[in-house]
Amino acid sequence: MITSAIVFALFHPMYLVVTLISGLILAVITFRTKSLIPAILTHAIWNLYVGVFFLYF
């Protein structure tokens, strides 16, 4: 899980610490649910939230 979180963070170098923590959370979600779908949906919802937030503020 740590390795995948580090790789995830390296793809988002501007926010290294935040994406490292997010990567760990998404890895735990994947591990607990035994499926990538909840982690993918979580990532998509987060991207939508951040996109809307930065669009209006």
- Domain of residue 23 covers 2-56
Alpha helices in 1-57 (DSSP H): 2-10, 16-33, 37-56
* Structural domains in the chain (count): 1
pLDDT at residue 14, rounded to an integer: 86
- Cα 47 to chain centroid distance, Å, stands at 9
Q: Evaluate if residue 6 carries a pLDDT over 80.
A: yes
- Rounded CA separation 22/50 (Å): 14
- Rounded CA separation 27/2 (Å): 8
Q: Evaluate if residue 57 carries a pLDDT over 80.
A: no
pLDDT at residue 15, rounded to an integer: 86
pLDDT digits (tens, 9 = 90+) for 16-54: 998 999 999 999 999 999 999 999 999 999 999 988 888
